[in-house]
Structure 1
Amino acid sequence: MDYDMLVIGSGPSGRRAAVQSAKLGKAVLVVDRGRRLGGVSVHTGTIPSKTLRETVLNLSGWRERGFYGRGYRVKQDILVGDLIERLHKTLDHEVEVLQHQFMRNTVKSARAAVKFLGPNRASLTTDTGDYSEVGFAHALIAVGTRPHRPRDVPFDKTRVFDSDEMLELERLPRTLTVTGAGVIGVEYATIFSALDVPVTLVEPRNTILDFVDREIVDDFIHQMRDRGMTIRLGSAIKEIASKPDYAEVTLADGRTIRSE
């Protein structure tokens, strides 16, 4: 079958391009090889981390601690299951909204891997091996992003995780080291700190969040340290190792940081 627009990826860019094309009367096919529609934003990026953050702030009683004291919690024993349950409810709702939006605008969708065969033709291959071809007048590649995974870092989903894999934790760690104090690193560091997990945040540069006003960042760093976080700025990382009972980060100056 031929389409006016082939959209590869169903994240924010893909879904908006698909719906807008359909509103202009175009025949649109959205193809995503993920398990469900939604792309990175729904399943591994923005919405999961924000849902996790809000769930933690709610269950930990963080916003009320200024009044009730630092020991206050809405739920005393917070488990990973509590976080995942709320996360799945939110993701299910987002996927349903997207599916309804596609249906309302007559946007077709398929779960498959795409390969271009020519300027106006592509093949679709599903996980089960089913093969088909489609023609198109225009195509948009909106496949999203994935975490940077240096080859010398032993990602094993047991002791060492990337930012996507943090959503698959089986239990809360007793201690945590976050390497990299960008937006995502700081976000996860503060989330687990709110759960009273001792967190060490390591950043090779001497500053963090350079796009934010310095006075705000300085106060933010003070607040993170005040809540018990250890922040090591200007600390280059030499090696990350996964041990049987802990993960170990070796800094360029020879110091080591161990965490679960």
Structure 2
Amino acid sequence: MPHYDMIVIGSGPSGQRAAVQAAKLGKAVAICERRELVGGVCVNTGTIPSKTFREGALYLSGFIQRGIYGQSYFVKENITMADLVSRCNMVIEREVDIIRHQMQRNQVVVIDGMARFLSDQELEITSENSRIQITADNIVIAVGTESAHPTEAHIDGRKVVTADEVLDMPELPRTMTVVGGGVVGMEYASIFAALGVEVTIVDARKGLLEFLDGEMVDSLIYHMRD
């Protein structure tokens, strides 16, 4: 049975840093990831894809240049999800390759599969084609988070999606309702509005982005309505 000084469950930013730092200190380290690609939500469905999606939307819609060329200006008319997602996929592939190279360079073993505790120092890792057991002196849990949604909501990945499935939508909708006025909700609402989608934001709280200065939020809401 393979034994390591440390096993990290989850290959997102926290898991990566923990694994690499331990490896640099001369420890035998393995990192376990249940997704097909390393990097966690940050690389695959969250921060990096959303920012790449935003930049693609701003460029193709001509949004930034409209102050010069007028509100009817578009770099590309009839923008499709394929136009926007193609660039996202390129960036994701590059980032995943960088992370895998970093793991190899620091001699961190990457194990694909779902980890389950058998004891305080023993894990069973199950993938589509295998099931192995490994032990470690220390185990770091860095599994990240998942999008929260009402249990009665039917997430079909087409008409109803969470932030994790936005980039999988087959086409740009004509209208969109965003439930939740937090950072992620406001970001996607503004992106799709720039693409010409009619967007409505629904939030149960008294105000949007309550952790920010009130005048900044009021200014943001004004410009989003405009």
- What is the match of residue 65 of structure 1? 66
Q: Which runs of 5+ in 1 are unaligned?
A: 227-260
- What is the match of residue 169 of structure 1? 169
* Structure with greater contact order relative to length (CA < 8 Å, sep ≥ 6): 2
* Structure 1 position 137, deviation (Å): 0.6
Q: Which structure dedicates a bigger proportion of its chain to strand?
A: 1
Q: What is the TM-score of this pair, normalised by structure 2?
A: 0.97
CA distance in 2, matches of 1:154, 1:95: 30
- What is the match of residue 223 of structure 1? 223
Q: Which structure dedicates a bigger proportion of its chain to helix?
A: 2
Query: Counterpart amino acid of 2:20?
Result: V
Q: Secondary structure at the match of 1:62?
A: coil
- What is the match of residue 155 of structure 1? 155
Question: Given the alignment of the two structures, is residue 184 of structure 1 paired with residue 192 of structure 2, yes or no?
Answer: no
Q: Give CA-to-partner distance per residue, 1:200-249, whole Å, 9 cap, x none.
A: 111222211111111111111100011xxxxxxxxxxxxxxxxxxxxxxx
Question: Given the alignment of the two structures, is residue 202 of structure 1 paired with residue 211 of structure 2, yes or no?
Answer: no
- What is the match of residue 76 of structure 2? 75
- What is the match of residue 126 of structure 1? 127
Q: CA contact under 8 A between 2:158 and 2:170: conserved in structure 1? A: no
Query: Counterpart amino acid of 1:77?
Result: N
- What is the match of residue 36 of structure 1? 37
* Structure 1 position 149, deviation (Å): 2.1
CA distance in 2, matches of 1:3, 1:161: 39
Q: Secondary structure at the match of 1:63?
A: coil
CA distance in 1, matches of 2:133, 2:160: 40
Query: Counterpart amino acid of 2:167?
Result: L
Aligned length: 225
Q: Secondary structure at the match of 2:145?
A: coil
Percent sequence identity is: 47
CA distance in 2, matches of 1:100, 1:199: 40
CA RMSD of aligned residues (A): 1.0
Q: Secondary structure at the match of 1:51?
A: helix
Question: Given the alignment of the two structures, is residue 141 of structure 1 paired with residue 141 of structure 2, yes or no?
Answer: yes
* Structure 1 position 143, deviation (Å): 0.7
Q: Secondary structure at the match of 2:64?
A: helix
* Structure 1 position 70, deviation (Å): 1.0
Question: Given the alignment of the two structures, is residue 3 of structure 1 paired with residue 11 of structure 2, yes or no?
Answer: no
Q: Secondary structure at the match of 1:164?
A: helix
CA distance in 2, matches of 1:49, 1:158: 18
- What is the match of residue 114 of structure 2? 113
CA distance in 2, matches of 1:40, 1:19: 19
- What is the match of residue 18 of structure 1? 19
Query: Counterpart amino acid of 2:101?
Result: H
* Structure 1 position 133, deviation (Å): 1.2
CA distance in 2, matches of 1:63, 1:21: 44
Q: Give CA-to-partner distance per residue, 1:56-80, whole Å, 9 cap, x none.
A: 1111111111111111111112111
* Structure 1 position 163, deviation (Å): 1.4
Q: Which one is further off, 115-124 or 152-161?
A: 152-161
CA distance in 2, matches of 1:111, 1:68: 50
CA distance in 2, matches of 1:165, 1:42: 14
CA distance in 2, matches of 1:198, 1:12: 34
Query: Counterpart amino acid of 1:180?
Result: G
CA distance in 2, matches of 1:58, 1:81: 15
CA distance in 2, matches of 1:204, 1:135: 46
